[in-house]
A and B are shown apart, each in its own frame.
Chain A
Amino acid sequence: MTLTQTPHAETTIEALHHVIEISDLSLRFETRDGPVQALSNIDLKVERGEFLSFIGPSGCGKTTLLRAIADLETPTSGALKVNGMSAHEARANRAYGYVFQAPALYPWRTVADNIALPLEIMGYPKFERDQRVAEGLELVNLAGFGKKYPWQLSGGMQQRASIARALSFDPELLLMDEPFGALDEIVRDMLNQQLLRLWDKTRKTVLFVTHSIPEAVFLSTRIVVMSPRPGRIQDIIETGFPRQRPLDIRETPEFLEVANRVRHGLRAGHSYDD
């Protein structure tokens, strides 16, 4: 297992593999207290099928970057391509599923109807909707809970439902913004494992924002370490772990080495300063 930084060499074959290409991206917010440079000169290429984590303290721009890729925020300068299109076109083409920090399930719909929501909007016929909903529930181990309402489920189960919802229309990309942040550690561990299994099974490209170092190291093929003021990429680390990995891997020296490198990057970006 090697720990090397991603080579920046550009070959034609590599270009085909890049689901997302970001070059020199900057984003400035105008707030009442003056302008805030949320993102500054971001360069990043995301390969198909990888699990990419973004880690950093609050204010480092990781959520802003995810939202920019999702066309929920507009960059002030730079280039951003998703599936070879602009972010706006990618959103119109429903290129990704988004999972928020909270489940954001609509409380007046059953769990099954919530998973079917994007399918209704995108005009899938009823038969296909029902099929996909059933598959989605299976995928996240919520079979049998379809007729329940969101508030009847625990936080972890609700978040699993929102993941099923994000995948119901089979997008290439899965964008996740600190999805397990509100859950306790035991549930988190379980969901981390389930997410890995799901990723391995569906072969999606996952962009995952987190502020937990162990979570980032455990889940990812690559980790983007970001630092604040202004928001920028501090380091990009390849983890090199196999696709199938047990929880015990967190005790191994290789794991700790990666974690240390992440921590080092955070410190270098003044993330631990006040």
Chain B
Amino acid sequence: MNARVADLAPPLLFGLAVLALWEVGVRLLGVPAIILPAPSAIALRFASSTPTLAADFLQTIRGVLAGYAIGSGGGLLVAILIDRSPFLQRGLLPLGNFVSALPIVGVAPIMVMWFGFDWQSKAAVVVVMTFFPMLVNATVGLAGGAGSMERDLMKTYAADYSQTLRLLRLPAAGPFVFNALKINTTLAMIGAIVAEFFGTPTVGMGFRISTEVGHLSIDMVWATIVVAALTGSAFYALVTFIERRVTFWHASYRIREN
């Protein structure tokens, strides 16, 4: 237990120091609120505007979660479907890597055109953003997650394709799938928020940021950013927690970092 506390102390102290400096610096230097509000002002805004922030959160999270589920699920499904065709894998994998590096958020206006202004178009953007990282990771995991000895073992049992897939290759691909799931939490948040920059009904985190920025209500902008940051971290932490439960057996949990 003591080791864990000792690990948390330096970053916590650092964070608190930054907050303290921020608060004091803004007051001492008389920085105007439209440039940089003090943390206390942001906290006040947070408390007073909680209904609005909650509504924004609910709107955006719909797009995030729906897109995340469909995109990640779709990527995994396609990876399993092309598993039997090395030809398709060699064709799709380079494309998948390629697409992952592109500014996919640019499809937001197109999605708005197809799916309307509401959360569905945001979900669509997230689907496009999360599909390829999952496809690439799952394909690599299915191909290489299981070692050659483990696969030979299945051959000595005369196990058929679906038995080998279900009992060996899918569990062995677990770490890779969760790697993509973790990356996708961040991509989903970015996708939904940026998509809202391009047009949305009058609610949503991205909407709130872009409009409040126009009103120069920077404290509200910061409050929304805090919500976004908390949501992003919580989402990532949740997936990490589930990963630990499902892939408890992976070597990475047994290696102690120095």
| A residues apposed to B, CB below 8 Å | 70-72, 91-94, 96-98, 100-102, 104, 106-108, 117-118, 120-122, 149, 151
Is there an interface contact between A98 and B159, defined as CB atoms closer than 8 Å? no
Main secondary structure of the interface of B (DSSP, over half): helix
Smallest CB gap from A105: residue in B: B150
Complex: A102 Cα to B250 Cα, angstroms = 17
Least CB distance from A141 to B in Å reads 22
Least CB distance from A110 to B in Å reads 10
Smallest CB gap from B171: residue in A: A108
Check if B167 is an interface residue, CB within 8 A of chain A: yes
Is there an interface contact between B254 and A151, defined as CB atoms closer than 8 Å? yes
Complex: A30 Cα to B165 Cα, angstroms = 29
Check if B85 is an interface residue, CB within 8 A of chain A: no
Smallest CB gap from A103: residue in B: B149
Is there an interface contact between B249 and A94, defined as CB atoms closer than 8 Å? no
List residues of chain A with CB within 8 A of the CB of B163.
Answer: 121
Is there an interface contact between B153 and A100, defined as CB atoms closer than 8 Å? yes
Check if B156 is an interface residue, CB within 8 A of chain A: yes
Known contacts A104-B147, A106-B168, A120-B167; A94 and B158 CB within 8 A of each other: yes
Is there an interface contact between B167 and A70, defined as CB atoms closer than 8 Å? no
Is there an interface contact between B150 and A106, defined as CB atoms closer than 8 Å? yes
Check if B152 is an interface residue, CB within 8 A of chain A: yes
Is there an interface contact between B152 and A72, defined as CB atoms closer than 8 Å? yes
Known contacts A100-B149, A104-B149; A70 and B249 CB within 8 A of each other: no
Q: How many chain B residues touch the partner (CB < 8 A)?
A: 22
Complex: A106 Cα to B156 Cα, angstroms = 15
Check if B155 is an interface residue, CB within 8 A of chain A: yes
Is there an interface contact between A91 and B156, defined as CB atoms closer than 8 Å? yes
List residues of chain B with CB within 8 A of the CB of A118.
Answer: 157
Complex: A97 Cα to B207 Cα, angstroms = 64
Least CB distance from B192 to A in Å reads 33
Smallest CB gap from B163: residue in A: A121
List residues of chain A with CB within 8 A of the CB of B157.
Answer: 94, 117-118, 121-122
Is there an interface contact between B249 and A108, defined as CB atoms closer than 8 Å? yes
Complex: A98 Cα to B148 Cα, angstroms = 14
Is there an interface contact between B171 and A104, defined as CB atoms closer than 8 Å? no
Least CB distance from B157 to A in Å reads 5
Complex: A122 Cα to B156 Cα, angstroms = 11
Interface string of B175-192 (1 = CB under 8 A from A): 000000000000000000
List residues of chain A with CB within 8 A of the CB of B250.
Answer: 107
Is there an interface contact between A151 and B152, defined as CB atoms closer than 8 Å? no
Is there an interface contact between A98 and B249, defined as CB atoms closer than 8 Å? no
